[in-house]
Amino acid sequence: MCQALKDKVALVTGGSRGIGRAVCQELASCGCEVYVNFSSRVEAAQETVDICASVGGRAQVLGFNVADSAAVDAAVETIRQKSGRLDILVNNAGITVDGLMIRMKDEDWARVLQTNLSGAMYCARAAARLMVKARAGRIINISSIVGQMGNAGQASYCASKAGLIGLTKSMARELAGRGILVNAVAPGFIETDMTSALDEKVKAEHFKSIPLGRYGSAQDIARVVTFLAGEGAQYITGQVVGVNGGMYM
């Protein structure tokens, strides 16, 4: 699996921490040249670059806001100028503004959808332009279990992650003829900075619903992303891979 990824060029959005950082490390360890996207935390992104270097990989930071389509286009053009191509895009950047739907502010709803869903489309659109010319490429969207089953208090986040699934399937159909495979990964309860902020009672309730009896790790997701980026996934497109310990079947 790793050998086929050697010298591939990858862009991972939201790569400064959590799942994004683990994906960067995994791809770098397989020989990919990785661009670590960040929006506001350059120090954290640099830490990811250092981690990639520690496993013998190559990585560099690339700061831009995925919700800004012009910034996305400029960033992908930078990759083209520096590396000549883009083989793998991992749409991982995301935010959440939790709260009951009846109290949700318009601006909070819009901000989550703009980042999580529109941002993924902007990045995929820009990347696909390069991939179409190469007649090859992999786009992997990080959705969520809550995009499949819903979750009270997360209407905007759930809607954005469900939208990513529809976007994945549409893009897969559009791009298959050009050799570009598009898939989604739907993590369950993963131990990250985002989930660590949850109330312990809430976490305990989630734990009860996981048949495997453990929370997932960022590495669990990174390994699946790496598989989808590699040669073992040559006949897989338009799929949603649940990595949730059996929490949703």
Measuring CA to CA, how many Å separate 73 from each of 44, 129, 137, 237, 245?
23, 10, 17, 25, 37
Could you tell me the two tokens for 22? Answer: 């683990």
By annotation, the residues acting in catalysis are 157
Contact at 8 Å (CB) between 225 and 185?
A: yes
Tell me whether residue 132 is exposed, middle or buried, using C-beta atoms within 10 angstroms of its C-beta: 0 to 12, 13 to 18, 19 or more: middle
pLDDT, residue 194, reads 67
Helix, strand or coil, per DSSP, at residue 33:
strand
* pTM (2 d.p.): 0.97
Residues 6+ apart with CB under 8 A from 47: 16, 21
**Sign of the C-alpha dihedral, residues 149, 213, 230, 17?**
positive
How is domain 3-242 classified at the CATH fold level? Rossmann fold (3.40.50)
Contact at 8 Å (CB) between 54 and 29?
A: no
The Cβ of residue 167 has, within 10 Å, a number of other Cβ atoms equal to 21
- Alpha helices per DSSP H over the chain: 18-29, 42-54, 69-83, 106-113, 119-134, 146-149, 155-175, 193-196, 200-208, 218-229
Measuring CA to CA, how many Å separate 243 from each of 43, 75, 130, 143?
29, 30, 29, 11
Question: Residue ranges of the chain with pLDDT lower than 70?
Answer: 1, 194, 197
Nearest to 186 by CA among 235, 128, 249: 249
pLDDT, residue 159, reads 98
- What ranges do the domains of the chain cover? 3-242
Measuring CA to CA, how many Å separate 117 from each of 110, 142, 166, 225, 236?
10, 10, 10, 19, 22
